[in-house]
Amino acid sequence: MDIKLRERIDSIISKMTLKEKIGQLNQEAVSPKDLEKIKERVRNGELGSIILASTATAGNDAQEKVYYEVIDEIQKTAVEESRMGIPLLFGRDIIHGYTTVFPVPLALSAMFNPDLVKTAYSHIAKETKNNGVNWTFAPMIDISRDSRWGRCIEGIGEDPYVGGVMAEAIVKGFQGEELSPSSVAATAKHFIGYGAAEGGRDYDKTEISDYTLRNFYLPPFKKAIDAGCATVMNSFNEINGTSTAASKKLLRKMLKGELSFEGFVISDWGSVEKLVFFGQASDKKEAAKIAINAGMDMDMVCRAFFDNLEALVSEGKVSEATIDEAVSRILGVKLKLGLFENPYVVRQDINIEETEDCAEKCADEAMVLLKNNENILPLKKEAAVLFAGPMLSEKHSLMGSWSADGDVTRVKSIKEVLKESKVNAFFAESDYLWDGILPFVRMADAVVLTLGESRKVTGEANSLTKVELPAEQMEFIKRVHALGVKIIGVMAFGRPIALFDAEPYLDAILYIWHSGTRSAQSAVSALYGDVNPSGRLPMSFPRYTGQIPIYYNREKGAIPLNSYYGETNKRVHSYHDSLATPMYPFGYGLSYTEFSYGEITSDKTKISLKDLEAGDGFSLSITVKNTGEREGAEVTQVYITDKVSSMVRPIKELKAFSKNVLKPGEEVKLNFFIDFEKLGYYNDEGEFTVEEGEFDIWIGKDAYVTDKITVTVE
């Protein structure tokens, strides 16, 4: 830490009473109705921050808005009327947009475009800051291999590399290159393993070995911290027999020790008190003792710290040095944010059109074209196309979960956008009553069925046992299909769903996710070819729910071929009632154009371990060409297989990608540098290591890539 900053922190702490220090560790919610009460508490130095949320599941419930004028009023009380004058942090869950809503984070991962993610979040940061929020509870970087878990839509998908790239882009979008007065402080959450909840049940237990934790769940957090993320939130789950809030091993040793995290740890809503539910503490007081000693710094809403730490210090169960350490971390963030010099909201002009255009560009790039038989898409503008289905007039669900601040009056439905477009789209009397729609099907050259799920079954506390197309939507497809017309499915889901039963009835599938304010404009542009889809799947799509968890980077198994990549032989198979391969693999996505790949070349076929350790590596090259007739973007993906290693390693792991827009006939030569970090893994001892031997390096369009080159480390 910078010496001047350290000195400033120490000087503030030296003037604080124990009670004031404990106040800094306390976060409470504010409601405009209780304003005077809250101001009184702030005046007494009882709060370090305020959460601008009125319920525990802020992503699903409408949240009372606290206007920036009120925020300034509370801040003024802290700065001018409390003894120490320490400014407050104001936190809110700004997950994928404030008034302008961007695609849900899982869809943003599907863009495979970190620069655009960063730009998107810098727009989001501006709207956030303008509304008085100086601290967001994002990014959520929980790896998830289970789309039953409603919160997978808030995350970054199944891959640690994509997770790391997204973590860095979102943190930098919110905070800039470093935490500074123009930043919105970010929170890497939830530390750790929350996405591995058993059965996809929210808040459920997890069992994650150290090996899996370090190689899969930890990398996105490492990237977020290396990018300077101001705070980290613990996760609700129990992991390997302990709640994260009680885990010294995770918080002090791993996060603050090994990862050198300098910011502070905020508990998730009531996490400290939850130690009582877990049976790890007999009451709130014991919970406070365990949590602060384990490394938790700030207590979200349950007042376990505030009500008990003074007594715990006087009883010698918590040292004042432990409290000082937590306060010091919190003050560090406040000082870096410049809150002592500029505590009040600085409003800047926001160009809404520009922000919305960026949201639309994200929605354009997030969409994934899953199927396109006989190039039925893009539609011709003059073709008579009937549009129907439950998502046709929908607005709220297109915004996705965690869009309480989103301005729905600025959202258009797909139907509204079509009506304003110069295309020959038409509608039945009803969007959704299939017997009302059938008479219109006869008049259509093709039918677009807009299918999907409500945002209310996605996000926190919204898991499902079945992630297949809802039965009534399936029935609807079958009825229309029976009339012999071509059907295009436009799918507005937050999560991956299992499409085995639906797919044969559909000639094309465009997966548009819950893509925010401009979802509908994007969907229509893609359907009619003004946008060429370029999204790729950040999570594997199962055929059936029963295949979950399904993910491409599974370790090699006892039979020669991992079932994800194909059945081994006629006698050994994973299931009797389904193929074991996913419906669509990780990294998959079609385009309206085609791309071809040249040969992979490497500047070295052998490299010594010593050279790798010294920072050297080798360079791979490949040429990608647009061989089709339209401009389009290809996401070139680089996977690595450690062929023989002392521990069982994944069949393939993504280690790099590059997204390039190419004109028809255009080609680009791409170079990828492979070094120690890309070849290594954490072994059983927790050491990051590269072992000698052969590595296959695959370059191509998705996890099913077959072109490779072999390089030996000796």
Site residues (vs ligand NOJ, CB under 6 A): 53, 56, 58, 93, 137, 189, 268-269, 460
Q: How far apart are CA 200 and CA 149, in angstroms?
A: 4
Of 659, 584, 505, residue with least CA distance to 162: 659
Going by the DSSP 8-state scheme, the letter that residue 126 receives in this structure is H
Cβ at position 290, least distance to ligand NOJ in Å: 20
Mention every residue, 6+ apart, whose C-beta is less than 8 A from residue 403.
96, 97, 101, 396, 455, 516
Cβ at position 90, least distance to ligand NOJ in Å: 13
Indicate the SS3 state at residue 492: strand
Cβ at position 192, least distance to ligand NOJ in Å: 13
Q: What are the phi and psi torsion angles at 312 (to 5°)?
A: -65, -35
Cβ at position 66, least distance to ligand NOJ in Å: 14
Amino acid at site 290 = I
DSSP string covering 97-120, please? Answer: BSSSBPPPHHHHHHT--HHHHHHH
Which ranges constitute the DSSP H helices of 448-591?
A: 471-481, 519-527
User: Interior CA angle at 90 toward 84 and 96, to 5°?
Assistant: 160
Residue closer to ligand NOJ, measured from CB, 154 or 702? 154
DSSP string covering 399-434, please? Answer: H-SS-TT--GGG---HHHHHHHSSS-EEE-SSSS-H
Cβ at position 53, least distance to ligand NOJ in Å: 4
Cβ at position 134, least distance to ligand NOJ in Å: 15
Distances (CA, A) of 133 to 71, 85, 712: 8, 19, 51
Say if CB 598 and CB 623 are below 8 A apart. Answer: yes
Catalytic residue from among 146, 268, 431, 702: 268
Residue closer to ligand NOJ, measured from CB, 236 or 592? 236
Q: What are the phi and psi torsion angles at 228 (to 5°)?
A: 90, 20
Cβ at position 21, least distance to ligand NOJ in Å: 24
Amino acid at site 172 = K
Cβ at position 203, least distance to ligand NOJ in Å: 9
Residue closer to ligand NOJ, measured from CB, 142 or 158? 142
Distance of CA 683 to the CA centre of its chain: 27
Residue closer to ligand NOJ, measured from CB, 194 or 493? 194
Residues 398, 402, 406, 408, CA torsion sign: positive
**Residue bearing tokens 């500074």:** 180
Residue closer to ligand NOJ, measured from CB, 141 or 448? 141
The number of C-alpha atoms within 13 Å of 302 and in the hemisphere containing its C-beta is 23
Residue closer to ligand NOJ, measured from CB, 99 or 187? 187
Cβ at position 472, least distance to ligand NOJ in Å: 31
DSSP string covering 636-664, please? Answer: EEEEEEESS-SS--BS-EEEEEEEEEE-T
Going by the DSSP 8-state scheme, the letter that residue 252 receives in this structure is I
Residue closer to ligand NOJ, measured from CB, 57 or 424? 57
Rg for the chain, CA atoms, rounded:
26
Residue closer to ligand NOJ, measured from CB, 137 or 264? 137
Cβ at position 302, least distance to ligand NOJ in Å: 12
Going by the DSSP 8-state scheme, the letter that residue 3 receives in this structure is H
Cβ at position 438, least distance to ligand NOJ in Å: 44
DSSP string covering 325-392, please? Answer: HHHHHHHHHHHHTTTTT--S-------HHHHHHHHHHHHHHH-EEEEEGGG-PSPPTTS-EEEESTTT
User: Interior CA angle at 548 toward 543 and 553, to 5°?
Assistant: 95
In the structure encoding, which two tokens stand for residue 593, read together? 């154009």
Residue closer to ligand NOJ, measured from CB, 291 or 612? 291
Say if CB 136 and CB 187 are below 8 A apart. Answer: yes
Residue closer to ligand NOJ, measured from CB, 150 or 516? 150
Residue closer to ligand NOJ, measured from CB, 63 or 424? 63
Q: How far apart are CA 710 and CA 701, in angstroms?
A: 18
The question of whether 299 is a catalytic residue gets the answer no
Residue nearest to ligand NOJ (CB): 137
Catalytic positions are 268
